[in-house]
Amino acid sequence: VVGESATTLGEQVVRTATREQLVTVTDAARRAAEGLLWRAGQVGVQVRRATRLQSQLKEAGSAGVQQLVSELVKAQPPGQLCAHDVHTTESVCGRLRPDLVVTLGPQLLPNSTVLVVDLKRQDGSYNSPAHIHQLASYGVALLDQLPATSRSKVLLAVTDLRRIQFLCVTRQASGGFSYQLSAEMDEAIPALCAALLAPPQRYGASPPPELKLAGQAVELVSFLGAGATSSVYECRLPNSQGEAEAVAAKVPLEPHTTSHEQRVLQELAAAGEGCPCIPRIMGMLDNNKGLLLAPVGKPLAAEGMLTDHPRLFNGFGGLVHALREAHERGWVHRDVRPDNLVLVGESSLYLIDWGCATQQDEEPIPASSFCGTIKYASDRVLQLLAAKSDQLDARPEDDLQSLVKAMWAVSHPLEAQVLAPVGKQKFSNLLKTWQDVMLGHPVWSRLMDAAAAAQYDAVAQGLADRFD
> What does each C-alpha distance from 142 to 73, 138, 166, 169 come to in angstroms?
22, 6, 16, 10
**What 8-state DSSP symbol labels residue 170?**
E
Decide if pLDDT at 169 tops 90.
yes
Alpha helices in 162-220 (DSSP H): 188-197
Query: Which pLDDT belongs to residue 11?
Result: 34
- Do you find a cis peptide bond into 295, omega within 30 degrees of 0? yes
Q: What is the pLDDT of residues 221-261, one digit of tens each?
A: 888 888 777 889 999 988 777 778 899 999 887 765 678 89
Amino acid (one-letter) located at 421:
P
Q: Are 85 and 41 in contact (CB under 8 A)?
A: no
Kindly write down the DSSP assignment for every residue of 282-335, as one continuous string: EEE-GGG--EEEE---EETTSTTHHHH-TTGGGGHHHHHHHHHHHHHTTEE---
Query: Which pLDDT belongs to residue 252?
Result: 85
Query: Which pLDDT belongs to residue 257?
Result: 66
Question: What's the rounded Cα separation, in Å, for the pair 315 and 460?
Answer: 9
- Which percentage of the chain shows pLDDT scores above 90? 39
The mean per-residue pLDDT over the stretch 448-459 comes to 96
Amino acid (one-letter) located at 454:
A
Q: What is the pLDDT of residues 36-90, one digit of tens each?
A: 433 434 444 455 555 544 445 555 555 555 566 655 555 445 557 777 877 767 7
Q: Are 66 and 87 in contact (CB under 8 A)?
A: yes
Neighbouring-strand partners of residue 349: 343
Of 414 and 47, the structure prediction assigns the larger pLDDT to 414
The mean per-residue pLDDT over the stretch 429-442 comes to 92
What's the CA dihedral at 13, 17, 19, 24 to 10 degrees?
-70
Decide if pLDDT at 422 tops 80.
no
> CB atoms < 10 A from the CB of 3, how many?
10
